[in-house]
Chains A and B, each alone.
Chain A
Amino acid sequence: MTTRRTAVPADPAQLSVLTEFLREFGSAAALAPAQVGTFELALEEIFMNIVMHGSQPGIAPRVEVSLNLGIESVTMTVEDDGPQFDPLSLPPPDVTASLADRRVGGLGVFLVRKIMDTVSYERIAGRNQLRMSKRLEG
């Protein structure tokens, strides 16, 4: 069983650090490139959401990411100690809106829900915890 864990401040400059972290896990777990890409997208969307919505003036939440390769699926957990916020409560974007009316807000979380098999949110001990999993391919 392959497991990795890291923690970074909710700072946009850390996005490339997390991407590298994820790629290292992907090669250790021998994941297909497409599967790694799926998790890269989910991690970017969730992390940037915390950066944009979880920060208070002068305080960046600490974000902890853990990855786990199970027998049938990969699970990623993203935790932060920012204010309580359930990204799954965001209304889905209207993906049928015209070009002129189309909004981008909420699109990141919407994509995460689409590309993952399961996504769940919990507020645990003063932390936001988002847990995602996807079945292994092939």
Chain B
Amino acid sequence: MNVRIEALAEATCVIPEGRLDFDAAPGFQEALERALGAPGKAPAALIIDGAALEYVSSAGLRAVLLAARAAQRAGVPFALCALQPAVREVFDLSGFSRIIAVHPDRATALAQAKPGRA
């Protein structure tokens, strides 16, 4: 799996491409940690853009959960967006879409991530 990181003014976007399975989860977790940055250098918000994410298993959910928790501790708004239907289903079944914000597309996620909206 390839992971791209785009640092925008409003948020840092993490873009996983392909399969987020047991093999890919450690690398993805590392990318999320990198995107959250060092203390004092945190992004305005952290968004996982799932437009190119084809598959997720519980190993991938775990990486997302850990990042969501780290973001919460750091006071960084955290959200998912543009999930494909099969991936969205896994987030829904696991109950994760109840505890993590999920937006239909990146534009909505960026608009929601503005300071004071977290």
Contact = CB atoms under 8 A, between A and B. Distances in A.
B77 to A, nearest CB: 13
Interface in A58-96: 93, 95-96
Interface string A19-40: 1000000000000001001001
A15 B19 CA distance: 12
Contact of A95 (B22, B72, B86, B94): B94
- Interface class of chain B by DSSP: helix
Interface of A: 12, 15-16, 19, 34, 37, 40-41, 44-45, 48, 93, 95-100, 102, 104, 107-108, 110-111, 114-115
23 contacts: A34-B86, A37-B86, A44-B21, A44-B22, A45-B57, A93-B94, A93-B95, A95-B95, A96-B95, A96-B98, A98-B99, A99-B65, A99-B72, A100-B69, A100-B72, A102-B99, A107-B58, A108-B57, A110-B93, A111-B57, A111-B93, A111-B94, A115-B93
10 shortest interchain CB distances as A-B pairs: A95-B95, A108-B58, A104-B62, A99-B99, A107-B58, A114-B93, A44-B57, A37-B86, A48-B22, A41-B57
